[in-house]
């Protein structure tokens, strides 16, 4: 799987194929079918690896931090990982079937986001709403940045990132009460 992950970073997750992997490894294609069930399995393996990897970095970054400090730390783990390992990051976004997703490191990610919210005063169900919002921003921003959405215009994407984290921090501290509807 590791070889697949490196391949993904090099040529893009979409181009990760059994054939290409065999070519790099200097073996014939069918030889890999002893190690990988099928093409889908290869991609899923890379995705699971990336999710684990990312979760490990997240919990390391979160250790000993709270509040905005924790928010920025986790957010930067995602952004930095995507820039360092674009193929792996793309893999981590791959839709997994329910069973695989539950067995993956995916749940650790939402737990980490929830952990950040301990530094803010949010009761359920607002805490879950906030988890979903933060997840959306992390995923959305990083993926837009990666596919070049913000690349060719001022201000710099890095500047937007820190200001967005400022704004999210302020928002979480002043989370609006449920209005009458």
Partner DNA sequence: GCACGCAACCTAAAGGTGTTAGGCGAATGT
Partner DNA sequence: ACATTCGCCTAACACCTTTAGGTTGCGTGC
Q: Which residues bind its own copies (CB under 8 A)?
A: 93, 95, 98, 101, 125-126, 128-130, 132-133, 135-141, 143-144, 147-150, 152-155, 157, 159-160, 163-164, 166-171, 174-176, 178-179
- Show the tokens assigned to 17: 């194929």
CB atoms within 10 A of CB 33: 13
Does residue 24 belong to the site contacting DNA (CB under 7 A)?
Answer: no
24 binds, among its own copies, DNA, none (CB under 5 to 8 A by kind): none
Residue of the chain from 10, 12, 14, 29 that contacts DNA (CB under 7 A): 29
Q: Does 39 bind DNA (CB under 7 A)?
A: yes
Number of neighbours of residue 116 by Cβ within 10 angstroms? 24
Structure-token pair, residue 126: 């607002």
What is the C-alpha to C-alpha distance for residues 1 and 41, in angstroms, rounded to an integer?
10
Residues between 101 and 140 that touch DNA (CB under 7 A): none
Q: Does 28 bind DNA (CB under 7 A)?
A: yes
SS (H, E, C) 101-161: HHHCCHHHHHHHHHHHHHHCCCCCCHHHHHHHHHHHHHHHHHHHHHCCCCCCCCCCHHHHH
33 binds, among its own copies, DNA, none (CB under 5 to 8 A by kind): DNA
Which residues contribute to the site for DNA (CB under 7 A)?
17-20, 27-31, 33-35, 38-40
């Amino acid at each position: 799987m590791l070889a697949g992950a490196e391949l993904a970073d090099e040529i893009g997750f979409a181009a990760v194929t059994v054939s290409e992997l065999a070519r790099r490894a200097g073996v014939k294609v069918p030889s890999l079918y002893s190690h990988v069930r099928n093409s889908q399995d290869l991609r899923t393996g890379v995705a699971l690896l990336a999710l684990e990897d990312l979760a490990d970095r997240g919990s390391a970054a979160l250790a000993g931090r709270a509040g905005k400090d924790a928010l920025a730390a986790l957010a930067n783990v995602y952004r930095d990982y995507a820039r360092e390992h674009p193929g792996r990051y793309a893999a981590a976004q791959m839709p997994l079937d329910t069973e695989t997703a539950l067995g993956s490191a995916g749940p650790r990610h939402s737990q980490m986001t929830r952990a950040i919210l301990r530094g803010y005063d949010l009761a359920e169900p607002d805490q879950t709403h906030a988890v979903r919002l933060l997840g959306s921003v992390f995923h959305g921003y990083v993926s837009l940045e990666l596919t070049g959405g913000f690349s060719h215009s001022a201000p710099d994407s890095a500047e937007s990132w820190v200001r967005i984290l400022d704004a999210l921090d302020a928002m979480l501290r002043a989370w609006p009460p449920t209005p009458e509807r």
